[in-house]
Amino acid sequence: MPRLVLVLGDQLTTRVAALREADLSTDVVVMAEVMGEATYVRHHVRKLAFCFSAMRHFRNRLRSAGWTVDYTQLDDEAAHDSIAGAILSAADRHGSTEVIATEPGEWRLLEALQSLPLKTTMLEDDRFVASHADFNAWAANRKELRMEWFYRDMRRKTGLLMEDGEPAGGQWNFDHDNRKPAPKGIDFGGPLRFSPDGITKEVLTMIELRFPDNFGVLRPFWFAVREEEAGRALSHFIKHALAPFGDYQDAMLSNDDFLSHSLLSIYLNAGLLDPIEVCEAAEQAWKDGAAPLNAVEGFIRQIIGWREYMRGIYWREGPEYDARNALSHRRKLPEFYWTAETEMRCIRRAVEATRDHAYAHHIQRLMVTGNFALLAGIDPAEVYDWYMLAYADAYGWVMAGNVIGMSQFADGGIVGSKPYVSSGNYINRMSDYCAECAYDVKKRTGEDACPFNFLYWHFLDRHRERFQSNPRMANMYRSWDRLADDKKAAVIGQANAFLDAL
């Protein structure tokens, strides 16, 4: 009796634990496109296309390597509603009683797989640097789970950018060098784009037919869908964009949706790239003198620091983490998160990029759409749902810490020691958005005052009790307290009117 070997749509590598454990000559690999996964959030059409095309390419690769793959396409008559249903049906077909799986990236699917009426071996997903045990050991007995300390352990564990046990360049973190606005006219070249092959074209047609009302623009579709293509996207980034990544990783430009960002999260999270190989390629560029240390350290920190840390938080905090709402925010997500129809140019550009590419870079996610939602008191569950469906790299294990923790402070301060809020001033410093915005970034009140300005003070004022004793926020409260009462009243009045009209 063959054992079944489950490979999910974000486990597309022969290095995934279940495949390493499996026997090519006797076991059957099960891969299934199912409506349950396609609809548990109403994914961006580009994410759906990426996922199904990459799954089909990986199926072909496994078959060429000699594996028996039981694959159902979404448009097959035999397609199932859920992953569990697909496994049970494959078990019937092959007379199997045993399944080997690699732990999925979300609690809901883990729970479904754990309830299968089959002998199930659930292997830990070791495509990460830190195992659950590593993260929990690091977190145990710490009062604060700050990413920086975890990151240093990951540097020691991997040996990346380490010299004789010390951080290369004598410093762990070069973040202070990485906050430059992008100079006018700079051209980063953009990510490598791929033309759809026959498989991808079929998938695109299927997505158009079956998901006509989902958010996002599908064509032209240019994501990599095979490991080899993702490898080329990595080489392209290392050659063309890694060097300026350091200086400009927080910058935003109206006419460039990507700047020096790698666009590798989509591939990393689906299994098309391995995080350590990505980091080693970046480290090699530094050793070869092709990229400066501040850029390479900044990039590696995102992957073995933030990415691993977010995953650790997700599994440690449990299945209820993404429902937290520490600031009791209840407002509905404004319509312009879907339509991009707003006079706020920063938001318009971030939502347009999201709609067009299923991608926005980190600072757009954190300091534009995330910042606005937090300032405006949007219900974090609505914010979470929007991010989950809007981005091609979205999975629970990485989204929850970023949205509930980092962006919305809805976990009450596990991920961040203070909320990521800013007035328009930060956006103005880091972008060219404000120069052509209908609002005036210098104004705090008045008809054309930048909404980020009055909302910022409104946020601080309404959450004074929680934040006024936070030493990192004391300066902000001092500035607010220096303002005359009538000016404060004008700010609060304008913010309330704006929020009522949202």
- Told to check if 402 binds ligand FAD by CB under 6 A, we report yes
Closer residue to ligand DLZ (CB): 34 or 360? 34
- C-beta closer to ligand FAD: residue 226 or 261: 261
Query: Residues 6 or more apart from 366 whose CB is under 8 A from it?
Result: 406, 407, 420
In the complex, the smallest distance separating the C-beta of residue 79 from ligand DLZ, rounded to whole angstroms, is 9
Residues lying near ligand DLZ in the complex (CB under 6 A) are found at: 8-10, 32-34, 37-38, 43, 48, 51, 83, 104-106, 109, 395
Coarse DSSP helix, strand, coil percentages of the chain, rounded to the nearest 5 percent: 55, 5, 40
Q: CA nearest 188: which of 144, 127, 253, 143?
A: 253
Select the residue whose beta carbon is closest to ligand FAD and give its number: 302
- Binding to ligand FAD by CB under 6 A, coded x per residue (else -) over 304-333, reads --xx--x-----------------------
Contacts of 210 (CB under 8 A, 6+ apart): 74, 75
Site residues for ligand SF4 per CB under 6 A: 344-346, 424, 427-428, 433-434, 437, 439, 441, 450-452
Give SS3 for 446. Answer: coil
Q: Which residue has the tokens 């400066």?
A: 292
Q: Which does 33 bind (CB under 5 to 8 A by kind): ligand DLZ, ligand FAD, ligand SF4, none?
A: ligand DLZ
How do beta strands 162-163 and 166-167 pair?
Answer: antiparallel
**Cα–chain center distance at 458:** 28
Closer Cβ to ligand FAD, 312 or 424, answer by number:
312
Closest approach of ligand DLZ to the CB of residue 378, in Å: 24
In the 8-state DSSP scheme, what is residue 188? -
Instruction: Render 317-346 in DSSP notation, one character per residue.
Output: H-TTGGG--TT---BPPPTHHHH---S-HH
Q: Which of residues 251-270 bind ligand FAD (CB under 6 A)?
A: 261-265, 268-269
Site residues for ligand FAD, 336-375, by CB under 6 A, read: 361-362, 365-366, 370
- Cα–Cα distance measured from residue 400 to residue 130, given in angstroms and rounded to the nearest whole number: 18
Which does residue 346 bind out of ligand FAD, ligand DLZ, ligand SF4, none, counting CB within 5 to 8 angstroms by kind? ligand SF4
Residue among 363 and 427 whose Cβ is closer to ligand SF4: 427
Compare residues 79 and 492 and give the one whose CB is closer to ligand DLZ: 79
Q: Tell me if 380 sits within 8 A of 347, measured CB to CB.
A: no
Residue with Cβ nearer ligand FAD (2 or 216) = 216
Minimal distance in Å, beta carbon 434 to ligand SF4? Answer: 3
- Smallest distance from ligand SF4 to CB 478, Å: 23
Q: Is the dihedral of CA 39, 41, 47, 51 positive or negative?
A: negative
Closest CA to 106 of 388, 415, 395, 394: 395
Could you tell which of ligand SF4, ligand DLZ, ligand FAD, none binds residue 434, using a CB distance below 5 to 8 A set by kind? ligand SF4
Are 150 and 308 in contact by the 8 Å Cβ rule? The answer is: yes
CB 170, min distance to ligand FAD, A = 24
Q: Which does 262 bind (CB under 5 to 8 A by kind): ligand DLZ, ligand FAD, ligand SF4, none?
A: ligand FAD
Rounded to a whole number of angstroms, the minimum distance from the CB of residue 496 to ligand DLZ is 39
Contact region with ligand FAD (CB under 6 A), list: 327-335, 403-411, 463-471, 472-480? 403-411
When asked if residue 415 is in the footprint of ligand FAD (CB under 6 A), the reply is no
Helical H segments across 377-484, by residue range: 380-390, 396-400, 424-430, 451-462, 464-467, 474-482
Torsion over CA: 237, 241, 246, 249 (sign): negative
Going across the sheet that includes 28-32, the strands are 68-72, 28-32, 4-6, 98-102, 119-123
CA-closest candidate to residue 473, choices 436, 419, 426, 431: 419
- Which C-beta is closer to ligand SF4: that of 30 or that of 368? 368
Under the criterion CB under 6 A, does residue 59 sit at the interface with ligand FAD?
Answer: no
Interface residues with ligand FAD (CB under 6 A) are: 261-265, 268-269, 299, 302-303, 306-307, 310, 361-362, 365-366, 370, 387, 391, 393-394, 398-399, 402-403, 406-407
